[in-house]
Amino acid sequence: MLRYILGALVLVAAWDGISVLRLHARQAALLPARTCATTGDGTLRVCHTAADEGIYYRPAAWQVAYNTQIIALDDGRYATVLHGEARDLPAYGAATHRLRPGDSIKSGVTGGPHDPAAVYHVPGDLDWRIWGSLTDPHSLLYDRFDPATSGPSGLSGGGNPMMVRGAAGDPYFYVLYLAVASDGGRGEAWRNILVEARTRDFLHYDLLQRDTAARSVWVAFAGDAARPAAVVDTAGQLIESNHPARVTGPGDPHHPVGSVNTQGVFGSLARIGTTLYYFYTDQDPAVPTRSHLYVRTAPDIATNGRLSPPRAVLDVAPEMLIRVARAAGTAGGGGDRWAVFYNCFRRLAPPVSDICLQYTRDLALDGPGGIGGLVLFDGPGFSGVSRHALGLTGDAAAAGASLKIQQFYLSTPAGALVRPRVRADGGPAPTGGLLTWTELGRDWSIFGAPVYWAVWDVSPERP
C-alpha cells in the first residue's frame, strides 16, 4: 500500500549483505539479449528475449500504477485491475503543490476477438473504481491526509487488488484487496486488513459489508459512504497482517521517515476445480524476523467466513512479494503445475534487479516437486540472487539503477496463466505467458513510474 512514497513496495534492501544497489550506465552492456534457466524439477526450460518487452502504461507524473493484473476474458477482451493513487490527489496537489500518499483501485476493459494485440496496452477506460473516504473515520477505507500537518489520519483507500472469477455458475469476478487500519484506531500501529469487492463489468463494484444482524451483504460502492467489512476465515479470525507497523522515524536506512511499512496479506488467487487458492506472504506470527508464503483455500468467497486458516508452505525473505499462478498444461508437457513469480537479482557484478520465475513439477504444495521444495535463491540463506531471473531489461537507460517491483501476470478468469494470442510485433504467440511489473527509476519514486510488460517462452528441457 502506498503510505508515503515507497510504502508497501517490495524493497529488497539488506538481503544477506545486498543493500540498496546503484549501477553505472555501462552495466547495460553486460545484459544478455536472451536469458534461459532450467526449472520444473529439471523438466522445463524458461527463456526470455530482451526484445520481447515494452511499456504497458506510462502514468502521468502525479499518478501511481502497480500490481497490474490482466485477465483474458471469454469474449476475447482483456480486463485490467491495478493499484492507483488517491482519488483526491489532483485537488490536493492543486491546493498544496505537493503529492500525497493514498490508495485506490482502478480497472478497465479493452480489445476484442479481432484485436489480440490489445493485451499489450492499458485500457482507455481505466479509471478509479474504489477509493478512500475523506469523511468517515469509521470506514476501513478512511484516507484523510491533512495538508496543514502533512500527517495522515487514515491510511487506506483500498489497494493491491487480487481478482478471480466466482465458482461455476457465478457471473461475478471477486476482488480481495487491502485496507489499512490502526490497532484500536489510535493511529500508532497499523496493519493490512483484507476486504472484498465484486464486479460483473469492471466498471461498477459492490463491496462485501455486514448488515445490522452481522450477515454478509453486497452493497454498491458508495464513495465516501463505503464501509466494507473485514474478511474473516472459517475460525472467525480477521485476515490481517500478523504484526503491526509503526511510523518510521529517523535512522531507518530502508524506509523514508514518516512512512508506515505495513506488510503481508497480498499475493494472488487461483481456482482449480471447486477450490480457490489464496497465496500471500506475511511475517511469522511468533517470530517477526521470519516470513513465509501462506496459502488459504475456500470453495468460494461469495460470502464472508469461507477462507481456511493459513498454512505456511515456504520460508521467504522479509518484505518479499510472491505471486503464484496455476500453469495449466505447459508447453513443456506434463500435467498442471504452479508458476511462482518473485523479486530477485540477476547474477551480475553488482547484481541487477529482476523478476524470477520457477515452475513446480506438479500442483503439490509440499515436497520436492511442489512449492515447498523450491529453492528461491542461489547460495545460502536469502541472498536475493537467483539463476531463475528472467533477464528483464525494462528501463535500459537506467541500466540497473532502477528497481523492478509489484509483478503480476496475464491469466484466465480462473487465475491460470494464459498466453497472449500474438507477440507484440505480430509474430507467433509466446509459449509461456505475459507478466507485468512497475519500474522505479533512479530516484525510486512511485509517482509516474511506468508499467512494463514482458513475455517468456517455455519448452521441455533436453536431457
For residue 279, what are the domain limits? Answer: 25-460
Does residue 16 sit within a domain?
no
pLDDT at 444: 84
In sequence order, the 6+-apart residues with CB closer than 8 A to the CB of 74 are 413
Task: Please write the tens of the pLDDT for every residue from 274-287.
Answer: 999 999 999 999 99
User: Residue 106: what are its φ and ψ, rounded to 5°?
Assistant: -115, 150
Q: Residue 451 forms beta bridges with which residues?
A: 57, 438
Q: Which helix (H) or strand (E) holds 65?
A: strand 65-72
pLDDT at 292: 97
CA angle 175, 179, 181 (to 5 degrees): 160
Which cell numbers hold the place of 249?
522515524
Range of lowest pLDDT (31-45, 125-139, 179-193, 349-363):
179-193
Angstrom distance (rounded) from CA 398 to CA 396: 5
Angstrom distance (rounded) from CA 174 to CA 188: 31
Q: Who wins on pLDDT, 147 or 332?
A: 147
DSSP state of 89: H
Does residue 20 sit within a domain?
no
Looking at residues 140-167, what average pLDDT do you find?
Answer: 84
pLDDT of 137 > 50? The answer is yes
Distances (CA, A) of 115 to 76, 327, 426: 8, 24, 11
pLDDT of 341 > 70? The answer is yes
Amino acid at 228: P
Distances (CA, A) of 432 to 36, 364, 419, 425, 457: 12, 20, 6, 16, 4
pLDDT of 149 > 70? The answer is no
pLDDT of 224 > 70? The answer is yes
Angstrom distance (rounded) from CA 376 to CA 50: 23
Q: Who wins on pLDDT, 367 or 333?
A: 367
Does residue 75 sit within a domain?
yes
Query: pLDDT category, 1, cuts 50, 70, 90?
Result: very low
Query: pLDDT category, 151, cuts 50, 70, 90?
Result: low
pLDDT at 400: 63
Looking up residue 63, the CATH number of its domain turns out to be: 2.115.10
Report the number of distinct structural domains present in the chain. Answer: 1
Looking at residues 186-195, what average pLDDT do you find?
Answer: 87
Q: Who wins on pLDDT, 75 or 143?
A: 75
Distance between first and last Cα of the chain: 44
Does residue 41 sit within a domain?
yes
pLDDT of 422 > 50? The answer is yes
Q: What residue has cell string 455458475?
A: 169
Does residue 3 sit within a domain?
no
Range of lowest pLDDT (190-199, 256-265, 423-432):
256-265
Q: Identify whether the C-beta of residue 457 lies closer than 8 Å to the C-beta of residue 48.
A: yes
Strands 311-316 and 291-298: antiparallel
Does residue 311 sit within a domain?
yes
pLDDT at 7: 32
The average confidence (pLDDT) of the chain is 88
pLDDT at 347: 84
Angstrom distance (rounded) from CA 450 to CA 59: 6
pLDDT at 291: 96
pLDDT at 4: 34
Does residue 59 sit within a domain?
yes
Angstrom distance (rounded) from CA 50 to CA 109: 27
Short-list 455, 414, 451, CA closest to 434 = 455
Angstrom distance (rounded) from CA 327 to CA 370: 13
Looking at residues 217-221, what average pLDDT do you find?
Answer: 97
CA dihedral (445, 62, 130, 121) in degrees, to 10, reads: -80
Q: Who wins on pLDDT, 212 or 147?
A: 212
Task: Please write the tens of the pLDDT for every residue from 225-270.
Answer: 999 999 999 999 999 999 998 877 777 776 666 678 899 999 999 9
Looking at residues 304-333, what average pLDDT do you find?
Answer: 90
pLDDT at 14: 33
Which cell numbers hold the place of 213?
444482524
Query: pLDDT category, 331, cuts 50, 70, 90?
Result: low
Q: In what order do the strands lie in the sheet with 311-316?
A: 267-272, 275-283, 291-298, 311-316
Does residue 5 sit within a domain?
no
CA dihedral (399, 393, 321, 303) in degrees, to 10, reads: 140
